[in-house]
């Protein structure tokens, strides 16, 4: 009887090990698929209608930031607008991606988001429709970026920043606490512009 119990335990442990291996292999394959190509393969819908294909900005650095209207980091809209004004004549794009993924801090409609950004922060850089930025339902750009960067590459909160270099590859990433006007970001933008 004891031998039968041990055999059953070995059999169950084997099944569990096979299941875990399949999950790991599946995730690695999915990350690998998502990590191919460059950022120019992705497109967002604009907040006020139309399309925002990243390929339209081929050869230009693009700062992609997931945003929210009711977050402790929301004042970074002011810094994003300042960065946009400082660099747009040199071809740098700032792209805001509203998301309700963290703390339900972007509950509004497209009209409400646009009005909030324009009224409170005079935002005139491009904004996308509201998207998921984490998990299996995240916008394909965010799944790609997480795949390229590996573990920890996905946003952990609102106002996570990705810099796409002029070659369409990720040139930098910064967490929420790093302001858009921080020298770490502007230095990478300057480097990306110099390498154009």
Closest C-alpha among 156, 158, 191 to residue 172? 191
Instruction: Give, for 171, the enclosing helix (H) or strand (E).
Output: strand 170-174
- Non-local (6+) Cβ contacts of 107 within 8 A are 70, 100
For residue 143 the two structure tokens come to 């799944």
Q: Is 24 exposed, middle or buried (0-12, 13-18, 19+ CB in 10 A)?
A: exposed
- Please tell me which residue in 54, 64, 71, 146 is annotated as part of the active site: 71
The two three-digit tokens of residue 152, written as one number: 């920890």
Residue 71 annotated in active site: yes
d(CA 20, CA 166): 39
Return d(Cα 49, Cα 155) in angstroms, integer: 25
- Smallest CA-to-CA distance from 47 within 160, 145, 129 is with 129
List active site positions: 71
């Amino acid at each position: 009887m004891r031998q039968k119990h041990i055999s059953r335990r070995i059999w169950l442990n084997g099944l569990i090990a096979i299941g875990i291996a399949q999950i790991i292999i599946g995730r690695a394959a999915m990350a690998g698929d998502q990590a191919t190509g460059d950022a120019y393969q992705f497109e967002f819908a604009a907040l006020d209608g139309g399309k925002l294909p990243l390929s339209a900005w081929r050869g230009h650095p693009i700062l992609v930031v997931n945003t929210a209207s009711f977050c402790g980091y929301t004042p970074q809209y002011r810094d994003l607008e300042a960065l946009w004004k400082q660099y747009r004549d040199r071809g740098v794009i700032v792209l805001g991606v509203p998301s309700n993924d963290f703390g339900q801090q972007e509950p509004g409609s497209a009209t409400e988001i646009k009005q909030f950004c324009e009224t409170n922060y005079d935002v005139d850089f491009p904004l996308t429709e509201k998207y998921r930025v984490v998990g299996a339902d995240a916008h394909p750009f965010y799944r790609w970026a997480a795949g390229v960067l590996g573990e920890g590459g996905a946003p952990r909160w609102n106002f996570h920043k990705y810099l796409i270099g002029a070659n369409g590859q990720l040139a930098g990433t910064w967490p929420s606490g790093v302001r858009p006007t921080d020298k770490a970001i502007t230095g990478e933008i300057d480097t990306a512009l110099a390498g154009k």
